[in-house]
């Protein structure tokens, strides 16, 4: 895995991949896409990085504890936004009924809670996919914190 061409091309590609993933997440409610696809694209860019620069390089990897915190926080944020609906006097996971501003259709920040939910899904999916890959691929199961 020390091929120079692979490394250079990877370095060139990763920013674009991540930008594309972000685009898919943020415009998921106005064009095809959404949290799952975007999160996975971001995760694939990180997996590409891991593959090109070696899986055992400690400095380059998303630290397990960071991944763990993002995962749980993604899910907790989803629940929290849902509970926001209850606090505002409507049902769990309410959007318009709870009075979230819907904005102008077509903008990035439109659709009330939908953008927030999509972003939390995207974060969660990205960190989950990278964790799954790293854990299945790495040779020796070492203890995480």
Partner 1 sequence: MTLVHFLLLLFLVVCAFFVGRTKDLISAVIVFSAYSLTMALLWQQLASPDVAITEAAIGSGVTTLLLFAAISRTRRME
Partner 2 sequence: MITAHIMPLTILLPLVGAYLILLVGSKYRLFARNAALAITGATFAMVCYITYLVSSHGKMSYYLGGWAPPLGIELRADPITAFLLLTFASVSFFVVLFAYDILPGEIKGKVVTRYYALYLVLLGSLLGIVLSNDFFNIYVFLEISSIAAAALVAVNGDKLAMEASIKYLVMSTLGSGTVLMGIAGLYMVTGYLNLDFLAGALPQAYANYPLTVSMTLGMLTVGIAVKAALFPLHVWLPDAHGSAPTSSSAILSGLVVKVYIAVLLKLLYRVFPLDFLAAMPLQGSLLVMATLGIFIGSIMAIRQRDIKKMLAYSTVAQIGYVFLGIGLFSEKAMVGAIYHVFSHAVMKSMLFLSAGLLIKYSGKRTIEDLSGLGRIYPIPMVAFSVGALSMVGIPPLAGFMSKWYLGWGALEANQLPFLLVLLVSSLLNGFYYLPIVIGGFFKPAAVAIKEEKIPLGAQISLLVLIAATFFFGLFSNIPVNFLTPTVQGIFNAFGGGI
Partner 3 sequence: MDNLFYAMVFIIFLTGFWIMLRQSNLIKKIIGMNIMESAIFLFLVAIGYVKEGSAPIAIDANPGLAYVNPLPSALILTGIVVSVSVTAFALGLTVRLYQHYGTMDVDEITRMRSEEL
Report the interface residues with partner 1, using CB under 8 A. 24, 32-34, 36-37, 40-41, 43-44, 47, 129, 132-133, 136-137, 139
Among candidate residues 75, 94, 96, 76, the one with its CA nearest the CA of residue 86: 94
CB 131 within 8 A of CB 64: yes
Quick check: 62 binds partner 2 (CB under 8 A)? no
Say how far apart CA 15 and CA 44 lie, in whole Å.
12
Give me the residue label for tokens 């250079």.
8
Pick the closer one to partner 2 by CB: 98 or 125.
98
Provide the H-helix boundaries in 1-145.
Answer: 4-26, 35-53, 64-87, 113-137
Query: Is residue 92 within the footprint of partner 2 (CB under 8 A)?
Result: yes
Q: Is 41 in the site for partner 3 (CB under 8 A)?
A: no
Which window, 19-27, 36-44, 86-94, 131-139, contacts partner 2 (CB under 8 A)? Answer: 86-94
72 binds partner 2 per the rule CB under 8 A = yes
Single residue of 2, 4, 5, 32 touching partner 3 by CB under 8 A:
32
């Amino acid at each position: 895995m020390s091929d120079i061409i692979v490394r250079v091309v990877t370095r060139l590609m990763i920013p674009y991949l991540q930008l594309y993933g972000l685009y898919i997440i943020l415009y998921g409610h106005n064009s095809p896409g959404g949290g799952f696809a975007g999160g996975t694209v971001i995760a694939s860019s990180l997996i590409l990085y891991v593959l090109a620069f070696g899986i055992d390089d400690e400095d380059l990897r998303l630290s397990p504890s960071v991944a763990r915190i993002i995962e749980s926080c993604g899910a907790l944020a989803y629940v929290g936004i849902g509970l926001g609906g209850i606090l505002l006097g409507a049902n769990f996971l309410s959007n318009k009924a709870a009075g979230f501003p819907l904005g102008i259709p077509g903008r990035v920040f439109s659709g009330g809670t939908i953008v927030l939910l999509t972003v939390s899904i995207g974060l969660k999916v990205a960190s989950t996919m990278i964790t799954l890959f790293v854990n299945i691929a790495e040779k020796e199961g070492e203890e995480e914190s």
